[in-house]
Amino acid sequence: MGKEILGIHHVTAIAGDPQKNVDFYTDILGLRLVKITVNFDDPETYHLYYGNEFGSPGSILTFFPWPGAPRGRRGTGQLTVTSFSIPERALGYWIERFKTHDISFEGPITRFDEEVLIFFDPDGLKLELIAHPGSDVRKPWKEGPVPPEYAIRGFYSVTLSEQGNERTAPLLTETLGFRLDQEVENRFRYKVGAGGAGALVDVLCLPDVPRGLVAVGTVHHVAWRTPNDEEQKTWCQEISKLGYNVTPVLDRHYFHSIYFREPGGVLFEIATDPPGFTVDEPQEELGTRLRLPPWLESRRAQIEQALPPLRLPVMVK
């Protein structure tokens, strides 16, 4: 055995207009646009990746933009909140920043020992900034509009909304290696690996809330980190033995992935840390042009023609 989930790898959501998506995550939140590629299963749709300076696992929020598609609905069986980690002293900066840019927000509210600002992206995706006393040494993106001392470090946690926790909890704790960390009312917080920012999942039990509907403004899936292909293979066998329908290993070019649906309905992925986003462009050039995996290069002209043009963020030196 000896295998361990290291934390959150990435979260993938559905957006509407790709330009509004780029503008919000880079100009307002100050994340780095780490990769511009396409949905490998639907190459005429963008796949946009945002993250920290290196696009480290645990900082990556990705989007499939479906311009003109209907909005989804948050509900049970979904990852309903994606929470970013900010330094404790950054809370005031972000409140002012949101006011300046006319971004409505709720809070700050206190949850456990954290201060939380709740807000939404232009498509209604629910997000949080969490200022917490724990250390978070991850490097933020320094060339965006947010001064590095206040910038987002990566994910803090994700929240799964479930009608019940009876079957999801054992999957998390007995199979995937999470430990119950704290609970208050209907919120159960689990940690995995070393715990702390980037390795936390909250399960909210909402027995009376209808199931969510995945479309624009909702999360499609969450991926957990595995360090290598060998451990991923072991996960695949073990989860399959428990009776879950697990996909074979899929080559996502920047990582390798398996997918299965947890009992509450949330789509889980287990993704490898390597090879990472510098596999097809150098660190300095991440996210500056459309990258296609080798098996789609021959269709580049047709793909580029089908994609709406995108105005890229200006780097602030």
Which is nearer to Zn ion, 24 or 255 (by Cβ)? Answer: 255
Contacts of 17 (CB under 8 A, 6+ apart): 65, 67, 122
N residues, the chain:
317
Q: How far is the CB of 304 from Zn ion (least distance, A)?
A: 23
Mark residues 188-227: x for contact with Zn ion by CB under 5 A, - for none.
-----------------------------------x----
Q: How far is the CB of 268 from Zn ion (least distance, A)?
A: 10
Interface with Zn ion includes 115 (CB under 5 A)? no
Which is nearer to Zn ion, 9 or 138 (by Cβ)? Answer: 9
Q: How far is the CB of 218 from Zn ion (least distance, A)?
A: 15
Q: How far apart are the C-alpha atoms of 70 and 65, rounded to whole Å? A: 12
Helices (H) and strands (E) in the chain, counts: 5, 16
Mark residues 232-271: x for contact with Zn ion by CB under 5 A, - for none.
-------------------------------------x--
Exposed/middle/buried for 92, CB within 10 Å: 0-12, 13-18, 19+?
Answer: exposed
Q: How far is the CB of 13 from Zn ion (least distance, A)?
A: 10
The three-class DSSP label of residue 236 is helix
State which of positions 119-148 bind Zn ion (CB under 5 A). none
Which stretch in 8-16, 72-80, 113-121, 188-196 sits in contact with Zn ion by CB under 5 A?
Answer: 8-16
Among 83, 88, 86, residue whose Cα is nearest residue 133: 88
- Adjacent-strand bridge partners of 270: 224, 258
Q: How far is the CB of 221 from Zn ion (least distance, A)?
A: 6
Which stretch in 5-13, 91-99, 178-186, 198-206 sits in contact with Zn ion by CB under 5 A?
Answer: 5-13
Which is nearer to Zn ion, 64 or 178 (by Cβ)? Answer: 64
Q: How far is the CB of 259 from Zn ion (least distance, A)?
A: 8
Among 171, 154, 315, residue whose Cα is nearest residue 242: 171
Which is nearer to Zn ion, 165 or 218 (by Cβ)? Answer: 218
CA dist 136 → 29, 85, 122, 133 (Å): 18, 8, 28, 9
**Edge-to-edge strand ranges of the sheet holding 219-226:** 32-39, 42-51, 60-65, 8-15, 219-226, 267-272, 256-261, 250-251
Q: How far is the CB of 183 from Zn ion (least distance, A)?
A: 28
* Binder of Zn ion out of 5, 12, 29, 218 (CB under 5 A): 12
Interface contacts to Zn ion, rule CB under 5 A: 12, 223, 269
